[in-house]
């Protein structure tokens, strides 16, 4: 990770650890995981779609270390 991402990650974890009620903390962690997973999936789809502009799916897959079919799935936000 880059330094700004490391700092953001530490800040998020510290904020979550700072929630005194354990049940509330658990729920916030669960909500944060879901929110971040959805946002990361969307960001990956955007990247793959940009890479696809001048490449085949097989070429995009090779760049990402996945198959062309998987690259196409990522572009649609597929799991």
CA–CA dist 67, 72 (Å, integer): 9
Predicted confidence (pLDDT) at residue 1 exceeds the cutoff of 80? no
Give the number of other CB atoms < 10 A from CB of residue 18.
8
pTM of the complete model? 0.78
Listed by start position, the domains of the chain span: 3-75
pLDDT band for position 2 (cuts 50, 70, 90): confident
Structure tokens at 67: 């198959």
User: What average pLDDT does the segment 11-29 reach?
Assistant: 97
């Amino acid at each position: 990770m880059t330094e700004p991402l490391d700092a953001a990650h530490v800040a998020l974890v510290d904020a979550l650890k700072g929630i005194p009620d354990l049940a509330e903390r658990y729920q916030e962690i669960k909500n944060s995981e879901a929110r971040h997973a959805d946002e990361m999936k969307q960001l990956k789809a955007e990247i793959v779609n940009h890479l696809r502009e001048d490449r085949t799916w097989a070429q995009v897959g090779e760049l990402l270390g996945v198959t062309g079919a998987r690259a196409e799935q990522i572009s649609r936000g597929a799991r």
